[in-house]
Structure 1
Amino acid sequence: MTTDLPQTGRFEGREHRFAVRVYFEDTDLSGIVYHANYLRYMERARSDMLRVAGVDQRAAFEGGEGFYAVRDLRVRYRAPARLDDALLIVSAVEEIRAASVLIHQRVMRGAELLVDAHVEAAFVAPSGRPRRQPANWIEAFNALAEKGN
């Protein structure tokens, strides 16, 4: 018997690809995706990318090491998505720093770019202060960044 599991994205070279569908609850009165919902799609894709890459955020949090917090976010909305659209969130590690990682994310509908974003996620200690990321996470990010080179 097969167990049903939540959707998981996949890597293609250095890019992580995560598919989502637009449901009625994602849209606003005009029938297009509400702008904040793109942030949700991108958050799910980033979390999945980290999990697939072997970064265990939950264990780090529960072990008192820390957690990621979005430090900076630049978003450019180019075209709207609509009810029932199939979207692809493409994420790639751009830069790895001691206490943060920069990720470029694109929301695509087929070949059309809908949203272009750059996210800096900082690793934060339970005290709320920035701290170095675990060394094995930096290694995982370096491996991702080198896949396409």
Structure 2
Amino acid sequence: MNNVSLIGRLTKDPELRYTPSGVAVARFTLAVNRTFSNQQGERQADFINIVTWRKTAENTANFLRKGSLAGIVGHIQTGSYDGQDGKRVFTVEVVAENVQFLEPKSTQSAPNGNGNTNGYQQQQNAPQSNYGGQEAFNQSVKIDEDDLPF
């Protein structure tokens, strides 16, 4: 069984691209707080690479921005590729099959003016893929416990 459920905030705007055959793919990193604090009382976060496909990718890129709170349901996918230096690079990412926008639209900016009146957007049924070749993310974003909905 390979199931993942995450809630966190985007560390930057999603990056939307298209495959040579025209299939939309969006990538972003989700900062997810750990359930414990370190010895200094600070809460740490994990930075998890997410990929979405087709309409889910387009909606994610149109409606989510850096700092947006999102819920992700999907599966873990591993892969590898040869880096520019000739060394093997191993990847781990979550392929999101369902993305829940967890904040009202009024707190986010939708650049295309799509007119979503209920304030939330949901996408489902992203296909499995084998899209490799991503850069590593070495970022640090602090998320307060008050930012999480639970």
Fold match (TM-score > 0.5):
no
TM-score, with length taken from structure 2? 0.28
Q: Which has the higher strand share?
A: 2
TM-score, with length taken from structure 1? 0.28
